[in-house]
Structure 1
Amino acid sequence: MPTPTEIRLKRAERVLDVSFDDGARFSLPAEYLRVESPSAEVQGHGPGQKVLVAGRREVGIMRVEPVGHYAIRIAFDDLHDSGIYSWAYLHQLGREYAERWAAYEQELAAKGLSREPPPRRRG
């Protein structure tokens, strides 16, 4: 399995750039990483239990932390931080970005949901 040679957080652009030793390079948007989080909160505890996460267009990444020599934990500014992104999963997310993103947008539309965050309450 490919191993990252560089992981660079671009906070202002809300992107995580990942380069792998097989030559693959991916720029993964924070929103994409958030809605595809490997956490049980998003993926569920079994097949067919994945939760559709809406309203995260503006989500950012606060920090990226190593987990051993096999993964990273990403802390998002919506306070989600329980997903552990293995090297294999990061590589898969990069390879499958176009298909996964199109499916995500279709599912949002089918359920009448939006990528836009909910309006902020005053008071």
Structure 2
Amino acid sequence: MTDIWPTELKVSKDRRTLTVSFNDGASYALPAEMLRVLSPSAEVQGHGPGQGVTVPGKRLVAIASMTPTGNYAVRIGFDDGHDSGIFTWAYLGELGESGAEKFADYEKALAEKGLSRDPR
């Protein structure tokens, strides 16, 4: 167990940003698109090493729902129907700290595969 946990989870009015504030004073604004394409779900990450999927077309995705999962995570549902990602407090903190780098890697993978962030 970690000693770091969120003190507030707040979805913006346009539903495109989740702000997470932690008990250590850290606070992060996490774009819905980043949360969606870096979802910890098996649908995105695969079931083993090297099985991850590069998800295109999610620039305009919004957060549709958030459901607490035990005392350690939140399940985030998106308006494209994806709702199987269980985001642990540790993973939300990781996205806050290194999400920009992870998202840059995602954009590079899109470009290498000839895919776009824009919906079709």
Match of 1:37 in 2: 39
> Percent identity, aligned pairs only?
59
- For residues 41 and 5 of structure 1, what CA distance do their matches in structure 2 show? 29
Q: Quick check: 1:4–1:18 contact (8 Å CA) kept in 2?
A: yes
Instruction: Give the structure with higher Rg (CA).
Output: 1
- For residues 6 and 71 of structure 1, what CA distance do their matches in structure 2 show? 13
- For residues 56 and 29 of structure 1, what CA distance do their matches in structure 2 show? 11
- For residues 24 and 47 of structure 1, what CA distance do their matches in structure 2 show? 30
Q: Which piece of structure 1 moves more, 75-84 or 94-103?
A: 94-103
What TM-score does the superposition give when structure 1 sets the normalisation length?
0.92
What TM-score does the superposition give when structure 2 sets the normalisation length?
0.95
- For residues 68 and 107 of structure 1, what CA distance do their matches in structure 2 show? 33
1:104 partner SS:
helix
Match of 1:26 in 2: 28
1:64-111, CA deviations, whole angstroms, 9 ceiling, x for partnerless residues? 111111100001000000010000111111111121111111111111
- For residues 49 and 96 of structure 1, what CA distance do their matches in structure 2 show? 21
2:67 pairs with 1:65: yes
1:96 partner SS:
helix
Q: Quick check: 2:15–2:63 contact (8 Å CA) kept in 1?
A: no
Q: Quick check: 1:72–1:86 contact (8 Å CA) kept in 2?
A: yes
Gaps spanning 5+ residues in structure 2: where?
Answer: none
User: In the alignment, which of 77, 80, 94 is matched to residue 78 of structure 1?
Assistant: 80
Match of 1:7 in 2: 9
Gaps spanning 5+ residues in structure 1: where?
Answer: 119-123
Aligned length: 118
Q: Quick check: 2:15–2:64 contact (8 Å CA) kept in 1?
A: no
